[in-house]
Homo-oligomer: A and B are copies of this chain.
Amino acid sequence: MKNILCVLPVEQRHKDKLEKAAAGCPIIYSSPDKVTDEQIAAANVILGCVDAKRVKASENLELFQLNTAGTDPYIVPGVLHENTVLCNATGAYSKAVAEHALASLLMLQKKLHRYRDAQRENNWTDFGTVSSITDFTVLVVGLGDIGCHFARLVKALGAYVIGVKRRPSAKPDCVDELYTQEELEKLLPRADVVFNILPGTGGTHHLYTEEYFRLMKDSAIFINCGRGGAVASEVLYKAISEKMIASAAIDVTEVEPLPADSPLWQLDDLVITPHVSGYYHLPHTFECIVEIAAENLAHYFAGEEPRNVVDFTTGYKK
């Protein structure tokens, strides 16, 4: 009998689905806060994100199914035993994050952030010309599930889409052109929108330097739903306040929560959301996560390779 531990906020219908996949093996339900160190140490399977520090390279842990797409804290050496199979929830967040990014992009294009500010001062003011997505070249930096979903959305609205991937591959239909990350610098001057959706790994830390922002059009819109560490706060502040680009929307910040005294908050042409594009804000996301967890539980009991297995050296899905 295996020890299956689930810390996802499941309802009865989710339990039914997981238990069916567990083929008669009971599941212990808890939460990331209430789960005990003993339960973690005894678990052969954990479903849901348990604090990385509490896993202590447990030898018992065979399958660890995260409820996040990001894997940063779990691939640090010493956190997991080398035999643990780590799986992420890639795919579950595509719709939620891509739609949030699209909403942010259109908001900036139509200057709705400025109109909202004016509204709060009972002020009927015209902020001038706007732009259309049909005239835009959108650069998607990070062409995983979320990047592809976003690419499909903006393409459906009429944008021209350039995708950037870590590794060379055949061009998917969701983009008009495809390049590898090495070519990013050459692509920045062509973009009306730069959408960063790279995960948080060593290779993406402070990727967007001041020079990168200077390479962008001064009319460009920058959107970051990847990791806040991809841009240093000072660089972002400078890029917007010195008008290297027109505006930006960020759902992630270098330090989270963004400190109350950060000068970023009061930039007129920066829109900040508090890392809400993903998580469980769109109910659909959680349904997908339970779906992935049930599927991988079934694979585990059938002795099959699960889906979304994470490569410890890259932090990406293998």
A contacts, CB < 8 Å to B: 95-96, 99-100, 102-104, 106-107, 109-110, 112-113, 115-120, 122-135, 153, 156-157, 256-258, 260-262, 265-266, 271-274, 276, 280-284
A276 contacts B103, C-beta separation under 8 Å: no
CA distance A260 to B121 in the complex (A): 9
Cβ–Cβ < 8 Å partners of A112 in chain B: 103-104, 107, 112-113, 271, 273
The 4 residue pairs across chains A and B that have the minimum distance between CB atoms: A103-B106, A124-B257, A156-B156, A103-B110
Q: A112-B273, A124-B258, A262-B122 are in contact. Are A282 and B103 (CB under 8 A)?
A: no
CA distance A266 to B128 in the complex (A): 23
A132 contacts B99, C-beta separation under 8 Å: yes
Q: A115-B272, A115-B273, A127-B276 are in contact. Are A95 and B282 (CB under 8 A)?
A: no
Smallest distance from the beta carbon of A78 to chain B beta carbons, Å?
31
Smallest distance from the beta carbon of A282 to chain B beta carbons, Å?
6
B281 contacts A129, C-beta separation under 8 Å: yes
CA distance A100 to B134 in the complex (A): 13
Cβ–Cβ < 8 Å partners of A129 in chain B: 280-283
Given A103-B107, A124-B260: 4 more A-B contacts, CB < 8 Å: A103-B110, A116-B271, A122-B260, A131-B282
Cβ–Cβ < 8 Å partners of A280 in chain B: 129
B106 contacts A99, C-beta separation under 8 Å: yes
Smallest distance from the beta carbon of A263 to chain B beta carbons, Å?
10
Cβ–Cβ < 8 Å partners of A260 in chain B: 122-124
Of B95, B113, B119, B271, which one neighbours A132 at CB under 8 angstroms?
B95
Closest to A123 in B: B260
CA distance A58 to B134 in the complex (A): 41
B116 contacts A117, C-beta separation under 8 Å: yes
B157 contacts A119, C-beta separation under 8 Å: no
B122 contacts A120, C-beta separation under 8 Å: no
Smallest distance from the beta carbon of A205 to chain B beta carbons, Å?
22
